[in-house]
Copies of this chain bind each other. A is one copy, B any other.
């Protein structure tokens, strides 16, 4: 299989991207990795190019501040766009980028293209849960104003994701809502609830935001706006708490000594709550596989994103979705 990496996207690009790609190439000899980006910058970063790594030159870069739609349309030779085109043309089985999220979603829509029958692609990510099993949340922001029929497709795609990639049997699908009762919610969730009950999935009803981390469902669906609020509140609260803990634990010598004893435990908790450990997010519902790495991805995060792309390719996820949606 062949995976295209946007070597120029992300806060630590191209260095971390190249390092992550080289580590992955070493680990998975069956995977051909294509680094897409400026040849002059990429070549000096590679001492001994492994046989399964190639460079595909792209002269432009989409920056973090670039306006998504405009930049994808205009920068036709941007590393992200070129990687997307490789997927669209069947020259790569998946693409990975840690660059501008809006531009990546636009690349997914305009360059890779929607899967037939899918109305809106969705951005997914695994969230940590206390039972260590994790929950797949979608949509995290690909589609801000979702309609009921979009959420129904998210439920189907998310369910297949957990089945195919994680081997779950009849994954429990929950609807993010303000209460557990069927009649709770806004117009969208109230309209989608009865539709989900009719679907050939294991719909377990409404899930409140406070219960998401407890592992009450395997797939959680929501519109992109609510998903973004959920994700960023989680990140913000965890981050704030850890920084307050750090401050308190170093505020006196006595506290410092005690905190040193607890450090391995604290580090474990921090890693557990860290979405980066879970690899990238899959942009789902497109003709090809697109993996979004976090903007601050280091080499390990890039390697994990490649691992995730490999699993998704091997699982036949896209073929399953296509079959389920359009019967093809």
The residue from B212, B261, B269 contacting A254, defined by CB atoms under 8 A apart: B261
The answer to whether A232 and B208 touch across the interface, beta carbons within 8 angstroms, is yes
Asked if A185 is an interface residue, CB under 8 A from chain B, the answer is yes
Which of A231, A236, A268, A272 has the most chain B CB atoms inside 10 A of its CB? A236
The A interface, classified by DSSP as helix, strand, loop or mixed, is helix
CA–CA, A269 to B251, complex, Å?
Answer: 13
CA–CA, A210 to B233, complex, Å?
Answer: 5
CA–CA, A144 to B191, complex, Å?
Answer: 13
The residue from B208, B235, B258 contacting A259, defined by CB atoms under 8 A apart: B258
Asked if A241 is an interface residue, CB under 8 A from chain B, the answer is yes
The residue from B145, B187, B237, B261 contacting A237, defined by CB atoms under 8 A apart: B237
CA–CA, A189 to B145, complex, Å?
Answer: 11
Asked if A248 is an interface residue, CB under 8 A from chain B, the answer is yes
Asked if A41 is an interface residue, CB under 8 A from chain B, the answer is no
24 contacts between A and B (CB under 8 A): A144-B186, A144-B187, A176-B229, A178-B224, A186-B225, A209-B228, A209-B233, A210-B235, A210-B236, A212-B233, A226-B229, A229-B229, A229-B230, A229-B233, A234-B237, A237-B237, A241-B241, A241-B273, A248-B266, A249-B265, A255-B262, A255-B265, A258-B262, A259-B262
Asked if A204 is an interface residue, CB under 8 A from chain B, the answer is no
Asked if A214 is an interface residue, CB under 8 A from chain B, the answer is yes
Which of A225, A235, A269 has the most chain B CB atoms inside 10 A of its CB? A225
The answer to whether B236 and A211 touch across the interface, beta carbons within 8 angstroms, is yes
The answer to whether A262 and B248 touch across the interface, beta carbons within 8 angstroms, is yes
Q: Which residues of A contact B (CB under 8 A)?
A: 130, 141, 144-145, 176, 178, 185-187, 189, 208-214, 223-226, 228-241, 243-245, 248-249, 251, 254-255, 257-259, 261-262, 265-266, 268-269, 272-273
Cβ contacts under 8 Å, A145 to chain B:
186-187
- Chain B: which residue is nearest A129 at the CB level? B240
CA–CA, A209 to B236, complex, Å?
Answer: 7
The residue from B144, B189, B243 contacting A178, defined by CB atoms under 8 A apart: B144
The answer to whether A262 and B265 touch across the interface, beta carbons within 8 angstroms, is no
Cβ contacts under 8 Å, A176 to chain B:
229
Per CB-CB distance, the 8 closest pairs between chain A and chain B, nearest first, are A210-B236, A209-B232, A258-B261, A233-B233, A248-B265, A144-B186, A210-B232, A237-B237
